[in-house]
Protein backbone atom coordinates (compact mmCIF):
# COMPACT_ATOMS: atom_id res chain seq x y z
CA UNK A 1 0.00 0.00 0.00
CA UNK A 2 2.86 2.35 0.79
CA UNK A 3 4.30 1.76 -2.68
CA UNK A 4 0.98 2.49 -4.41
CA UNK A 5 0.46 5.61 -2.31
CA UNK A 6 3.92 6.79 -3.34
CA UNK A 7 3.16 6.04 -7.00
CA UNK A 8 -0.08 8.07 -6.97
CA UNK A 9 1.76 10.88 -5.23
CA UNK A 10 4.47 10.74 -7.89
CA UNK A 11 1.99 11.10 -10.76
CA UNK A 12 0.11 13.94 -8.96
CA UNK A 13 -3.26 12.20 -9.09
CA UNK A 14 -5.25 15.32 -8.00
CA UNK A 15 -3.87 17.17 -11.05
CA UNK A 16 -4.79 14.23 -13.29
CA UNK A 17 -8.34 14.31 -11.91
CA UNK A 18 -8.42 18.03 -12.72
CA UNK A 19 -7.37 17.32 -16.33
CA UNK A 20 -10.03 14.63 -16.71
CA UNK A 21 -12.69 16.86 -15.15
CA UNK A 22 -11.74 19.76 -17.44
CA UNK A 23 -12.09 17.66 -20.56
CA UNK A 24 -15.32 16.03 -19.35
CA UNK A 25 -16.95 19.40 -18.62
CA UNK A 26 -15.79 20.86 -21.92
CA UNK A 27 -17.12 17.92 -23.91
CA UNK A 28 -20.48 17.48 -22.17
CA UNK A 29 -21.23 20.98 -20.85
CA UNK A 30 -19.90 23.03 -23.79
CA UNK A 31 -19.25 21.08 -27.01
CA UNK A 32 -22.29 18.79 -26.86
CA UNK A 33 -24.87 21.51 -25.93
CA UNK A 34 -23.49 23.93 -28.55
CA UNK A 35 -23.66 21.27 -31.28
CA UNK A 36 -27.09 19.98 -30.28
CA UNK A 37 -28.51 23.51 -30.19
CA UNK A 38 -27.65 23.55 -33.91
CA UNK A 39 -29.12 20.10 -34.52
CA UNK A 40 -25.73 18.33 -34.67
CA UNK A 41 -24.01 15.59 -32.68
CA UNK A 42 -20.47 15.49 -31.22
CA UNK A 43 -17.89 13.82 -33.45
CA UNK A 44 -16.53 11.68 -30.60
CA UNK A 45 -18.81 8.98 -29.17
CA UNK A 46 -18.42 8.34 -25.44
CA UNK A 47 -15.89 5.45 -25.71
CA UNK A 48 -13.59 7.47 -27.99
CA UNK A 49 -13.82 10.54 -25.77
CA UNK A 50 -12.90 8.41 -22.73
CA UNK A 51 -9.86 7.07 -24.60
CA UNK A 52 -8.82 10.59 -25.64
CA UNK A 53 -9.09 11.86 -22.07
CA UNK A 54 -7.22 8.81 -20.76
CA UNK A 55 -4.52 9.43 -23.36
CA UNK A 56 -4.04 13.00 -22.10
CA UNK A 57 -3.97 11.85 -18.48
CA UNK A 58 -1.37 9.13 -19.15
CA UNK A 59 0.96 11.52 -20.99
CA UNK A 60 0.58 14.06 -18.17
CA UNK A 61 1.34 11.37 -15.55
CA UNK A 62 4.48 10.41 -17.45
CA UNK A 63 5.45 14.09 -17.52
CA UNK A 64 5.14 14.41 -13.75
CA UNK A 65 7.35 11.36 -13.26
CA UNK A 66 10.13 12.58 -15.55
CA UNK A 67 9.96 16.02 -13.95
CA UNK A 68 10.61 14.53 -10.50
CA UNK A 69 13.33 12.31 -11.97
CA UNK A 70 15.36 15.31 -13.11
CA UNK A 71 14.41 17.42 -10.06
CA UNK A 72 15.86 15.18 -7.36
CA UNK A 73 18.65 17.61 -6.44
CA UNK A 74 16.19 20.51 -6.27
CA UNK A 75 13.62 18.57 -4.21
CA UNK A 76 16.28 17.53 -1.69
CA UNK A 77 16.55 21.23 -0.80
CA UNK A 78 12.98 22.46 -1.34
CA UNK A 79 10.87 19.57 -0.05
CA UNK A 80 12.96 16.71 1.38
CA UNK A 81 10.03 15.39 3.46
CA UNK A 82 7.77 15.04 0.41
CA UNK A 83 10.20 13.18 -1.85
CA UNK A 84 9.14 9.85 -3.32
CA UNK A 85 11.95 9.05 -5.77
CA UNK A 86 15.01 7.36 -4.26
CA UNK A 87 13.13 6.98 -0.97
CA UNK A 88 10.26 4.66 -1.95
CA UNK A 89 10.43 4.33 -5.74
CA UNK A 90 13.80 3.84 -7.42
CA UNK A 91 14.93 5.95 -10.37
CA UNK A 92 14.99 2.85 -12.58
CA UNK A 93 11.33 2.08 -11.87
CA UNK A 94 10.43 5.74 -12.33
CA UNK A 95 11.96 5.73 -15.83
CA UNK A 96 10.19 2.45 -16.62
CA UNK A 97 6.82 3.87 -15.56
CA UNK A 98 7.50 7.05 -17.52
CA UNK A 99 8.16 5.01 -20.68
CA UNK A 100 5.13 2.74 -20.24
CA UNK A 101 2.70 5.58 -19.51
CA UNK A 102 4.02 7.62 -22.43
CA UNK A 103 3.70 4.72 -24.86
CA UNK A 104 0.19 3.96 -23.65
CA UNK A 105 -0.90 7.61 -23.85
CA UNK A 106 0.53 8.20 -27.32
CA UNK A 107 -0.89 4.90 -28.62
CA UNK A 108 -4.38 5.76 -27.36
CA UNK A 109 -4.07 9.19 -28.97
CA UNK A 110 -3.30 7.63 -32.36
CA UNK A 111 -6.10 5.09 -31.90
CA UNK A 112 -8.70 7.84 -31.36
CA UNK A 113 -7.25 9.88 -34.23
CA UNK A 114 -7.46 6.84 -36.52
CA UNK A 115 -11.05 6.14 -35.45
CA UNK A 116 -11.88 9.79 -36.21
CA UNK A 117 -10.32 9.53 -39.64
CA UNK A 118 -7.76 12.24 -38.87
CA UNK A 119 -4.62 10.20 -38.07
CA UNK A 120 -2.40 13.30 -37.90
CA UNK A 121 -4.21 14.41 -34.72
CA UNK A 122 -2.39 11.60 -32.90
CA UNK A 123 0.82 13.60 -33.16
CA UNK A 124 -0.67 16.05 -30.63
CA UNK A 125 0.20 13.63 -27.82
CA UNK A 126 3.66 13.03 -29.30
CA UNK A 127 4.33 16.78 -29.22
CA UNK A 128 3.05 17.02 -25.63
CA UNK A 129 5.28 14.13 -24.56
CA UNK A 130 8.35 15.70 -26.17
CA UNK A 131 7.63 19.12 -24.66
CA UNK A 132 7.29 17.56 -21.19
CA UNK A 133 10.64 15.78 -21.65
CA UNK A 134 12.48 18.90 -22.77
CA UNK A 135 10.75 20.94 -20.06
CA UNK A 136 12.12 18.61 -17.39
CA UNK A 137 15.62 18.39 -18.87
CA UNK A 138 16.14 21.97 -20.02
CA UNK A 139 13.28 24.44 -20.43
CA UNK A 140 12.34 24.74 -16.76
CA UNK A 141 15.85 25.92 -15.93
CA UNK A 142 15.58 28.88 -18.33
CA UNK A 143 13.91 32.23 -17.86
CA UNK A 144 10.21 32.15 -18.77
CA UNK A 145 10.52 29.35 -21.37
CA UNK A 146 9.56 26.60 -18.93
CA UNK A 147 6.63 28.62 -17.59
CA UNK A 148 5.31 29.24 -21.10
CA UNK A 149 5.68 25.59 -22.14
CA UNK A 150 3.75 24.26 -19.13
CA UNK A 151 1.07 26.94 -19.54
CA UNK A 152 0.69 26.09 -23.23
CA UNK A 153 0.33 22.40 -22.36
CA UNK A 154 -2.32 23.29 -19.76
CA UNK A 155 -4.22 25.23 -22.41
CA UNK A 156 -3.74 22.38 -24.87
CA UNK A 157 -5.49 19.99 -22.48
CA UNK A 158 -8.54 22.19 -23.08
CA UNK A 159 -8.06 22.77 -26.81
CA UNK A 160 -7.37 19.12 -27.69
CA UNK A 161 -11.03 18.22 -27.14
CA UNK A 162 -11.99 20.75 -29.80
CA UNK A 163 -9.38 19.39 -32.23
CA UNK A 164 -11.43 16.20 -32.59
CA UNK A 165 -14.66 18.00 -33.55
CA UNK A 166 -15.40 18.07 -37.28
CA UNK A 167 -16.59 21.68 -36.90
CA UNK A 168 -12.94 22.54 -36.32
CA UNK A 169 -10.91 19.99 -38.30
CA UNK A 170 -13.22 19.25 -41.24
CA UNK A 171 -12.97 22.39 -43.37
CA UNK A 172 -12.61 26.16 -43.34
CA UNK A 173 -16.33 26.45 -44.11
CA UNK A 174 -17.15 24.38 -41.00
CA UNK A 175 -14.95 26.61 -38.86
CA UNK A 176 -16.62 29.75 -40.21
CA UNK A 177 -20.13 28.44 -39.63
CA UNK A 178 -22.11 29.85 -36.69
CA UNK A 179 -21.57 26.66 -34.68
CA UNK A 180 -17.87 26.49 -35.53
CA UNK A 181 -17.26 30.11 -34.54
CA UNK A 182 -19.15 29.65 -31.27
CA UNK A 183 -17.13 26.56 -30.35
CA UNK A 184 -13.83 28.25 -31.16
CA UNK A 185 -14.76 31.36 -29.15
CA UNK A 186 -15.78 29.41 -26.04
CA UNK A 187 -12.89 26.96 -26.17
CA UNK A 188 -10.52 29.85 -26.90
CA UNK A 189 -11.64 31.78 -23.81
CA UNK A 190 -11.17 28.75 -21.56
CA UNK A 191 -7.80 27.97 -23.13
CA UNK A 192 -6.68 31.57 -22.53
CA UNK A 193 -7.89 31.36 -18.93
CA UNK A 194 -6.00 28.08 -18.45
CA UNK A 195 -2.84 29.57 -19.96
CA UNK A 196 -2.84 32.74 -17.84
CA UNK A 197 -3.76 31.13 -14.53
CA UNK A 198 -1.17 28.40 -15.14
CA UNK A 199 1.47 31.05 -15.84
CA UNK A 200 0.65 32.69 -12.51
CA UNK A 201 0.96 29.40 -10.66
CA UNK A 202 4.21 28.42 -12.37
CA UNK A 203 5.88 31.73 -11.48
CA UNK A 204 4.58 31.57 -7.90
CA UNK A 205 6.05 28.05 -7.64
CA UNK A 206 9.37 29.46 -8.90
CA UNK A 207 9.21 32.06 -6.13
CA UNK A 208 8.53 29.30 -3.59
CA UNK A 209 11.36 27.08 -4.87
CA UNK A 210 14.05 29.74 -5.32
CA UNK A 211 16.49 28.22 -2.83
CA UNK A 212 16.67 24.78 -4.42
CA UNK A 213 16.50 26.16 -7.97
CA UNK A 214 19.44 28.50 -7.41
CA UNK A 215 21.59 25.70 -5.97
CA UNK A 216 20.84 23.58 -9.04
CA UNK A 217 21.84 26.39 -11.41
CA UNK A 218 18.32 27.19 -12.65
CA UNK A 219 17.66 30.59 -14.20
CA UNK A 220 14.00 30.98 -13.32
CA UNK A 221 12.32 34.39 -13.44
CA UNK A 222 12.75 35.28 -9.72
CA UNK A 223 16.44 34.30 -9.88
CA UNK A 224 17.20 36.03 -13.19
CA UNK A 225 14.96 39.10 -12.92
CA UNK A 226 14.54 39.40 -9.16
CA UNK A 227 11.65 38.68 -6.79
CA UNK A 228 9.97 42.07 -7.26
CA UNK A 229 9.95 41.77 -11.06
CA UNK A 230 8.51 38.24 -10.87
CA UNK A 231 5.76 39.38 -8.50
CA UNK A 232 4.91 42.33 -10.73
CA UNK A 233 4.75 40.04 -13.75
CA UNK A 234 2.35 37.73 -11.87
CA UNK A 235 0.17 40.62 -10.79
CA UNK A 236 0.05 41.87 -14.37
CA UNK A 237 -1.27 38.46 -15.43
CA UNK A 238 -3.85 38.54 -12.64
CA UNK A 239 -5.04 41.99 -13.76
CA UNK A 240 -5.34 40.69 -17.32
CA UNK A 241 -7.43 37.78 -16.02
CA UNK A 242 -9.73 40.10 -14.08
CA UNK A 243 -10.25 42.26 -17.18
CA UNK A 244 -10.94 39.23 -19.40
CA UNK A 245 -13.50 37.91 -16.91
CA UNK A 246 -15.13 41.35 -16.85
CA UNK A 247 -15.47 41.25 -20.64
CA UNK A 248 -16.98 37.77 -20.40
CA UNK A 249 -19.42 39.01 -17.77
CA UNK A 250 -20.53 41.84 -20.08
CA UNK A 251 -21.17 39.31 -22.84
CA UNK A 252 -23.01 36.99 -20.45
CA UNK A 253 -25.10 39.92 -19.19
CA UNK A 254 -26.37 40.49 -22.73
CA UNK A 255 -27.43 36.84 -22.84
CA UNK A 256 -29.21 37.16 -19.49
CA UNK A 257 -27.07 34.61 -17.66
CA UNK A 258 -27.19 36.53 -14.37
CA UNK A 259 -26.42 33.61 -12.06
CA UNK A 260 -23.30 32.89 -14.11
CA UNK A 261 -22.19 36.51 -13.65
CA UNK A 262 -22.58 36.22 -9.88
CA UNK A 263 -20.60 32.96 -9.90
CA UNK A 264 -17.74 34.42 -11.97
CA UNK A 265 -17.56 37.51 -9.77
CA UNK A 266 -17.61 35.70 -6.42
CA UNK A 267 -15.60 32.58 -7.24
CA UNK A 268 -13.13 33.73 -9.91
CA UNK A 269 -12.76 37.52 -10.02
CA UNK A 270 -12.75 38.22 -6.27
CA UNK A 271 -10.26 35.39 -5.54
CA UNK A 272 -7.99 36.74 -8.31
CA UNK A 273 -8.05 40.15 -6.63
CA UNK A 274 -7.36 38.53 -3.24
CA UNK A 275 -4.36 36.64 -4.65
CA UNK A 276 -3.11 39.90 -6.18
CA UNK A 277 -3.04 41.46 -2.70
CA UNK A 278 -1.58 38.37 -1.01
CA UNK A 279 1.21 38.09 -3.56
CA UNK A 280 2.26 41.70 -2.99
CA UNK A 281 2.74 40.92 0.73
CA UNK A 282 4.32 37.47 0.29
CA UNK A 283 8.01 37.10 1.16
CA UNK A 284 8.56 33.57 2.51
CA UNK A 285 8.23 30.13 0.83
CA UNK A 286 5.18 29.32 2.98
CA UNK A 287 3.49 32.53 1.78
CA UNK A 288 4.06 31.57 -1.85
CA UNK A 289 2.87 28.02 -1.14
CA UNK A 290 -0.41 29.43 0.20
CA UNK A 291 -0.80 31.63 -2.90
CA UNK A 292 -0.08 28.64 -5.16
CA UNK A 293 -2.79 26.63 -3.40
CA UNK A 294 -5.27 29.48 -3.88
CA UNK A 295 -4.42 29.64 -7.58
CA UNK A 296 -5.28 25.93 -7.88
CA UNK A 297 -8.70 26.67 -6.35
CA UNK A 298 -9.30 29.40 -8.96
CA UNK A 299 -8.30 26.98 -11.70
CA UNK A 300 -11.02 24.65 -10.45
CA UNK A 301 -13.74 27.28 -9.99
CA UNK A 302 -12.96 28.72 -13.42
CA UNK A 303 -13.32 25.34 -15.11
CA UNK A 304 -16.52 24.54 -13.17
CA UNK A 305 -18.15 27.58 -14.78
CA UNK A 306 -18.58 25.41 -17.90
CA UNK A 307 -21.63 23.94 -16.15
CA UNK A 308 -23.57 27.12 -16.96
CA UNK A 309 -23.45 26.30 -20.69
CA UNK A 310 -25.25 23.04 -19.92
CA UNK A 311 -27.85 24.97 -17.91
CA UNK A 312 -28.49 27.83 -20.30
CA UNK A 313 -27.97 26.39 -23.78
- Kindly report the average pLDDT of the chain as a whole number: 90
Q: Which of 76-80, 183-187, 237-241, 258-262 has the lowest mean pLDDT?
A: 76-80
Output Rg (C-alpha) for the chain, integer angstroms.
20
Per-residue pLDDT at 132? 95
Q: Please answer whether residues 104 and 131 qualify as being in contact, where contact means their C-beta atoms are separated by less than 8 angstroms.
A: no
pLDDT tier at 274, thresholds 50, 70, 90: very high
Phi first, then psi: give them for residue 85, nearest 5 degrees. Answer: -65, 140
Per-residue pLDDT at 37? 84
Number of domains in the chain: 1
60: domain range? 2-312
227-242: per-residue pLDDT in tens?
Answer: 999 999 999 999 999 9
Q: How far apart are CA 185 and CA 206, in angstroms?
A: 32
Amino acid sequence: MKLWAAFFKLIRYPNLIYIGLTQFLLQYCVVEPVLRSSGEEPSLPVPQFVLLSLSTILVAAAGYIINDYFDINIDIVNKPDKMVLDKIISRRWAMAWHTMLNLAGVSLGFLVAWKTGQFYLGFTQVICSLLLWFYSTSFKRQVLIGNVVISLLTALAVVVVGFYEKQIYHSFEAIMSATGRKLIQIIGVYALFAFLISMVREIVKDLEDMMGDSKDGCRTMPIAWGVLAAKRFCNGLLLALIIIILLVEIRVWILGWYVAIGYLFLFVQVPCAYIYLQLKKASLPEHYHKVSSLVKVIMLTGILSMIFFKIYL
